Amino acid sequence: MFIQIHFPYHRLLRWVEAASGLLLCITLCAGFSAGAQSTQGAILGTVTDSAGAVVPGALVTLTNTEQASKRTMTTNSVGDYSFLDVKAGHYSVQVAAPNFRTWVAQEVILAVHQELRINAKLVVGDVQQAVEVSEDTISAIETETPSISAVYSASEAVNLPVNTRASASGTSALNIVGTLPGVQADHGQFGLQGGIPWETEVSVDGITVQSTNTNGPIADAFPSSESISEIRADGALNDAEFGQPGEITVTTKGGTNTIHGSAFWYHQDASLDAIPFTYPITTTKPKLIGNTYGGVLAGRS
C-alpha cells in the first residue's frame, strides 16, 4: 500500500528557517561557554608510613579555613588522593588512618590554576594524637605542571608602586599586569615571556576581557585593585586548556565567614607637587585638585 502525504512548501521553508536559527543559537551559546575558562586548581598527594609504604584507605579531609567548608575522600590502592576543582584560598589538609597518628597540614595556600602536591607521612600511634606541619615544610615548587608562572596576592596588588587611583589612563588597575615577571607591556597590550600580544589571553574570573579591535585587554573591564584577590601569569609550556600560549588570570575577592572590607581616599593637590622644569623657566604650577574614593565590603551568607 502506498500513502502519499501532501505538505505545504511554504510551511516547510518556515520549519527549515526555524531549525537553522535554533542551530545557530546553540552554536553561539557553545562558543560563549568555550570562551570561559576555569580558575580552579587542585590539591593532591600520596600518603605513606614512616617506612615509605603507601597507606590505602586513609581518610583525607580538605577544609577551606576561610569559609569552613569541607571535602573528604579516601586514598586509593596506591595511597594517592586528589581534590579537583578547588578554588584558590587558604586550606588545611588532615589525614587519618587506623593505628596511625592524625597528620595535619595547616595554612595551606592554593593559588589560581595551581596543582599543589602535599604528601603525608603517617607515624604509628593513637589516632587521637596529631602530627602538625606548617606551610614552611611544604614545597613551594610546582612539580605537577611544567609551565613557568608568577603570582601576585591581594596585598601585593594593592601595595605595588603602580598608580591605579588617578593615572593618565583612569582608575583601572590594568597597569599591574605589566609588572608581573615575564610580562612585557606595550601601549595597553601585553606579551608574555617573549610572545606577541595576540598570543596572550587576559581573563577575569574565567571570562576574557580581550578587545577584538586592539588585541589587548579592555581597561574598563578590569577590576579595581581593592577587589583583586590574585593575579597569575602562565607562559612557557602552558596547559592546553587555554586558548593562547600565554594566560593572565585575575580573580576577584569572595566572601568569608567574617565580614571584612577596606576603604580608601586618594587626594591630589598641586601644592604637593614640584614645579615642573620648563623653558622658559616658570614658577607656577598647573592647577590640579583630584579626589578618588571608594571601598569594599564582603561577607558570606
Residue 116: pLDDT over 50: yes
Do strands 69-74 and 59-64 pair parallel, antiparallel, or not at all (unpaired)?
A: antiparallel
pLDDT category of residue 104 using cuts at 50, 70 and 90: very high
Q: Distance between CA 301 and CA 299 in Å, rounded?
A: 7
Region of poorest pLDDT, from 64-68, 249-253, 293-297: 293-297
Give mean pLDDT, residues 174-198.
79
Instruction: Give the per-residue pLDDT at 17.
Output: 45
Predicted TM-score of the model (pTM): 0.58
Report for 34-38, 75-79, 196-200, 212-216: range of highest mean pLDDT: 75-79
Spatial separation of the C-alpha atoms in residues 230 and 62, rounded to whole Å = 21
pLDDT digits 0-9 by tens, 262-277 = 788 888 888 888 887 8
**Given the C-alpha cell 584507605, which residue does it identify?**
57
Say yes or no to pLDDT of 18 above 80.
no
- Can you tell me the distance from the alpha carbon of 56 to that of 58, in angstroms, rounded to the nearest whole number? 6
Sketch out the chain's domains with CATH numbers: 41-137 (2.60.40.1120), 149-252 (2.170.130.10), 260-298 (no CATH)
pLDDT at 139: 54
Average pLDDT over residues 204-217: 81
C-alpha distances in Å from residue 115, one per residue of 56, 88, 173, 222, 240:
22, 10, 27, 26, 15
